[in-house]
Amino acid sequence: MSNDEFPINSAQSMINVIREVGMIPFFMSPVRGWSIEELTHPDWWFYSSDELGPWDWKVDAVREGIVYGKYISRRAAFATKELYRHLMNWRRSQAKYQVAEGRTCKAATIDDRLQEYLSPVLLSAIREHEALDSSEIRSILEKEVPPETRKKVGGHMEKYLIPKVTKQAVDFLTGFLDMGTWTVVGDITRVYRGRNCEYKGWQRNSITTPDALFRLSGNSSEGPFWAKFVEDDTDSPTLPDCSPEESRQILIDHLTSLFPEGRDKFGKLI
């Protein structure tokens, strides 16, 4: 890492830090110093500046091929494709995330039932359409998952699923799919509002699969525009050629080499 206490002061410097670290949360994490927030100069952090800083710079990061989603403790994180593939290799080997592909499990909790009943439908729809936004996801879930099935989830989630599927339910489901490395943010577009068409940090995300993002890399004639920014190695497999446990260890060793005090915490976060 740079000796500069706050190496992030522009979009390009943030992208450089992400590429150097390989995988890093947006907000403060249990590992001291391992976050965009802690590496950003206070003058550029949202709560102490009129500038949008990293909240806006993440658009540039995504458009340069950085993999962005809520895959570290269900909170926003950035990664290079190389390290993210190792995360995919590890996370997708875990039974709790294989529910999204229709694997049955003992749905003991409300959260388990939500994931079992709705996440396979959502993942299938995203794969079919390549990318969806939140309103499209709500519409598909309401159409494809009958109200009686949604009602079976029960408990505190029922109000988010009946009679309509709400944004809160979609956020929870996409958070689960992000953690399983089934989905990531595909694109972030800036939204201009008001009489003067001002941009004050409003953004709209689309959700895609990392598989689609990697498959479309280097192909400028197909798919969303951001695909061309991912380096072209389409002959390579989506997952690395090693075991899931080896991928987990590669991630922990790499991050520990940069943040030595975090080894035990990386073991839990990865």
pLDDT for res 199: 79
Distance CA 184, CA 174 (A): 8
Mean pLDDT by 10 residues, the chain (270 residues): 78 96 97 96 68 89 95 97 96 94 82 95 96 94 96 94 95 97 93 82 90 65 40 56 95 98 96
**Tell me, what's the pLDDT at 50?**
58
Entry pTM:
0.88
Q: How many CB atoms lie within 10 A of CB 258?
A: 15
Check residue 2 and give its pLDDT: 53
Identity of residue 109? T
- What distance in Å separates the CA atoms of residue 153 and residue 112, rounded to the nearest whole number? 8
